[in-house]
Amino acid sequence: MIPREFVYFDPDSLDDALGLLAQYGDDAKIMAGGQSLLPMMKLRVLSPPVIVDLWRVPDLAYVKEEDDVICIGALTTHYQLETSAVIQAKLAPLAAAAKVVGDPLVRNLGTIGGSAVHAAHNADYPAVLVALGAQMVLMGAKGKRTVAAETFFEDMFATVIQSDEVLTEIRIPAERVGRPGVYLKLSRRGTDFALVGVAASVVMAANGTCSEASIVLSGVGSIPVRAAGAESLLHGQRPTMELIAEAAVVAARDLDPPADVQADAQYRRDVAQVFVRRALTESCPQS
Amino acid sequence: MNRIIHTTVNGRKVVEENVEPRMLLVHLLRDRLGLTGTHVGCDTTNCGACTIRFNGLAIKSCTMLAVRSEGAEIMTIEGLAEDDKLHPIQQGFWEKHGLQCGYCTPGMIMSALQLLERYPEPSEAIVRRELEGNLCRCTGYQNIVEAVLWAGEQLKSQESTV
């Protein structure tokens, strides 16, 4: 169908956009790439009275390195991330996720910021952002604030963002930059959301042990789920095949995944176990 | 709240008045400009029958607001052939029987245009991956893949004769 009528603004500055959000409050919805929002509006699942479209706002799509921190503009598209030399070289899990969001056409327009704020439980970025310890930079009426990805996602389609705020930037801290890691995703058809997605990022010590493993799953809860039990199993240990297999078992056992039309809970657990094992095998050198 | 849109479609400057913000780009192209080669297939942003070229990128025109076409350069399937000369991708769909009902075909071709720009010598796997946004119910994709590979060869040999 077509969307319901709405009042439309496409401001050409972030300040103007924030002014509009302050003015219209809960009636206003930000449009970034529109690749999640417009389909919902066309189905009339969502009919915001006011749309504040950011397409004219400059300087919100970029990948920058600032003192070993990687800063990503919220309007950077999936294609831009996928093809960014910096992201490919230094944030392997993020490049991997950018490559599998939707399809090549959607990836030309969809943005990392839009995806993060949309916060679908089976989207790809949220798990990766939590695994990478990302910081989410929000601008609002009261100024700027930064929220850790870990606390940013509150529920399915719900984040801590307030109605007067815009996500402007995502920052990946230096500790996670350049670390080995992957994002693996199972979906029934190539362009589906994740049935199960696994984001892994590891820090290896010089002696071949794993100082720290960050394993976060998508599609198995209403928000990204950290496999804390599996992580602590690996902490300080040599990541042998046996240990990885054990960590994968623990990760799956700790899950309480939903059942839906795509898969039942046990299938998701089974897939999670396989994918956690594969993710760790790919991420940990010489396992 | 209706707007006047100034855009360029298939090389021609276009001015459209009275464009509602909620009008989708695919409807501007089809209903206002009569460019019905771009198709509405699914209504759920899955099928890609609506694929066009927008500022150099292949996009689903059913999932973009018409008002965003202000100042944009748009090419639809109608803009691909030069007078009576088919573009090599169109020729490929002819040579390799890459269509049956033809409904997905304009979208496939506009997607393939981007594919061959990004991957001038694609493998079959890359062709299949890069066409994931375009669904076909008739062909089983085999001849579509052949058509795109054929077109890639044509474009490559055209370049080397320049």
**Residues contacting residue A100 through CB under 8 Å, at least 6 positions apart:** A124, A183, A185
Contacts with B25 from chain A: Cβ below 8 Å? none
Task: Please indicate if any CB of chain B lies within 8 Å of the CB of A188.
Answer: no
Residue B69 is classified by DSSP as G
Contact by Cβ (8 Å): B117, B125: no
* Torsion sign over Cα B33, B53, A35, B126: positive
Alpha helices in chain A (DSSP H): 14-24, 37-42, 78-82, 85-90, 92-100, 104-109, 112-118, 125-131, 149-152, 228-234, 241-253, 265-283
Query: Which of A5, A34, A53 faces B63 most closely, judged by CB atoms?
Result: A34
pLDDT in single tens digits along all 287 residues of chain A: 899 999 999 999 999 999 999 999 999 999 999 999 999 999 999 999 999 999 999 999 999 999 999 999 999 999 999 999 999 999 999 999 999 999 999 999 999 999 999 999 999 999 999 999 999 999 998 999 999 999 999 999 999 999 999 999 999 999 999 999 999 999 877 677 889 999 999 999 999 999 999 999 999 999 999 999 999 999 999 999 999 999 999 999 999 999 988 899 999 999 999 999 999 999 998 65
Closest CA to B144 of B81, B86, B102: B102
Per-residue CA distances from A265 to A33, A154, A219, A256, A271 (Å): 32, 21, 11, 7, 10
Residues 50-109 of B with CB under 8 A from A: 51, 57-60, 62-65, 67-68
Å from B90 to nearest chain A CA? 20
State the pLDDT at residue B1: 87
pLDDT digits (tens, 9 = 90+) for A40-64: 999 999 999 999 999 999 999 999 9
Contacts with A51 from chain B: Cβ below 8 Å? 21
pLDDT in single tens digits along all 162 residues of chain B: 899 999 999 999 999 999 999 999 999 999 999 999 999 999 899 999 999 999 999 999 999 999 999 999 999 999 999 988 999 999 999 999 999 999 999 999 999 999 999 999 999 999 999 999 999 999 999 999 999 999 999 999 987 765
> What radius of gyration, in Å, describes the C-alpha atoms of chain A?
19
HSE-CB at A222 with a 13 A cutoff on CA atoms is: 8
- Cα separation, B162 vs A87, whole angstroms: 36
Does the pTM of the predicted model rise above 0.90? Answer: yes
Residues 218-237 of A with CB under 8 A from B: none
Whether residues A53 and B68 touch (CB distance < 8 A) is answered with yes
Contacts with B58 from chain A: Cβ below 8 Å? 104-105, 108
Query: Which of B22, B24, B133 faces A105 most closely, judged by CB atoms?
Result: B133
- Cα separation, A134 vs A174, whole angstroms: 10
- Cα separation, B23 vs B119, whole angstroms: 33
Å from A1 to nearest chain B CA? 7
Query: Which of A34, A51, A103 faces B132 most closely, judged by CB atoms?
Result: A103
pLDDT digits (tens, 9 = 90+) for B5-40: 999 999 999 999 999 999 999 999 999 999 999 999
Å from B144 to nearest chain A CA? 17
Whether residues A7 and B133 touch (CB distance < 8 A) is answered with no
> What radius of gyration, in Å, describes the C-alpha atoms of chain B?
16
State the pLDDT at residue B43: 86
Å from A5 to nearest chain B CA? 6
State the pLDDT at residue A188: 78
Query: Which of A6, A35, A108 faces B57 most closely, judged by CB atoms?
Result: A108
Contacts with A104 from chain B: Cβ below 8 Å? 58, 111, 114-115, 129-133
Contacts with A106 from chain B: Cβ below 8 Å? 45, 60, 63, 133
Task: Please indicate if any CB of chain A lies within 8 Å of the CB of B18.
Answer: no
State the pLDDT at residue B162: 52
Task: Find residue A148's DSSP bridge partners.
Answer: A135
- Cα separation, B142 vs B128, whole angstroms: 9
* Selected residue of B7, B40, B63, B118 to mutate for chain A interface (largest A Cβ count, 10 A): B63
